[in-house]
Chain A
Amino acid sequence: MKFSVKKLALCAVLAALALGLSTLENLFPVSLIVPLPGVKLGLANIVTVFALYELGAPEALAILVTRCLLGGLFSGTATALLFSLLGGLCAMGVMILLKRSRRLSVYGVSVGGAAAHNAGQILAAMITLGNTMVVGYLPFLLAVALITGTLTGFVVSLLLRATAHLHLTNQSDYR
């Protein structure tokens, strides 16, 4: 695998985009539906899924960690960093596994990733609060994940088809 300048530039752009998305989702606080502070919708997962398909797992991981660290730096709290990092890593782990199944489309991978993302955020809340009672929020957050996961799948499938002819990477493209 060659980490070309083109690929590096693409990673930087995607990390910036992910950071923008995670800032944007502050406008739609999940806490209105699920009153667990710190929880985010996971719109930045769109970038993770796209990077996973278009670039590969190492690049997607680099983008994810960059986004979480910069986001944590801007918010200035260790709690925000823990929520985004645990949520993001859980989502990525599950999606790498699900993606191995050639039977699943982007949609199935995204929904599984969104569910893992929200479970990871519950885990972050448990660690932060030293309390297991917050697991009670899991059913609500899983229901939210069905919506955000499907939305993510939809957006990424559009992106993959739209960028197929651009030759973003040196891999064989989508036909």
Chain B
Amino acid sequence: MKSNSSTVKTRPTPWDALVFAAVAALAVLTALVFYGPKARTNAPLTCVVSVGGEVMDHVPLASFAGEHTYSHNGYTLTVRVSGGQVEVLHSDCPGQDCVHSGPISRAGQSLVCLPAQVVIHLESGTDGPDVIVG
């Protein structure tokens, strides 16, 4: 094995800053794509609920008020929609991460339950899945 240890750098170099900047730029770029100008407008929100990879509900948030239950993988989630907010009221999944995530109310936000494979996503606009460019 060649001894590469002697050339190991343990102190930061200017080139490290380049890696740092590249990751930061990617973060900003993806943030713009997902939470850019379009997501910040006051356009009506659509609630998309997917269970096990299948879209179960794709409803304008305003007309989705009430409690909805979703069952998958042997777990049942109760989701409450009220006052423009969506939250997992209770769930019998282990970990309870989805319940602890609290309410979401803005475009781009999601509630996720891994054990039940449930994703509740808010998107801006009321017309189908949005592709935001610029």
A4 contacts B by Cβ under 8 Å: no
B52 contacts A by Cβ under 8 Å: yes
Least CB distance from B24 to A in Å reads 6
Cα-based distance from A103 to B48 in the complex (angstroms): 46
How many B residues touch the partner, as a band?
Answer: 35 or more
Q: Do A125 and B112 touch across chains, with their CB atoms under 8 A apart?
A: yes
B5 contacts A by Cβ under 8 Å: yes
B27 contacts A by Cβ under 8 Å: yes
Selecting from B8-16, B59-67, B78-86, the interface stretch reads B8-16
Q: Do A133 and B50 touch across chains, with their CB atoms under 8 A apart?
A: yes
Selecting from A16-24, A40-48, A65-73, A142-150, the interface stretch reads A142-150
Q: Do B48 and A133 touch across chains, with their CB atoms under 8 A apart?
A: yes
Which residues of the other chain, B, contact A150 by a CB distance below 8 angstroms? 20
Q: Do A139 and B34 touch across chains, with their CB atoms under 8 A apart?
A: yes
A131's partner among B16, B35, B50 (CB-CB below 8 A) is B50
**Contact of A106 with B10 at beta-carbon distance under 8 Å, contacts A130-B117, A133-B48, A146-B24 already known:** yes
Q: Which residues of A contact B (CB under 8 A)?
A: 1, 31, 35-38, 53, 56, 77, 79, 98, 101-109, 111-112, 115, 125, 128-131, 133-140, 142-143, 145-146, 149-150, 153, 157, 160-161, 171-175
Q: Which residues of B contact A (CB under 8 A)?
A: 1, 3, 5-13, 15-16, 18-20, 23-24, 26-28, 30-31, 34-35, 48, 50, 52-54, 95, 97-98, 100-102, 108-115, 117, 119, 121
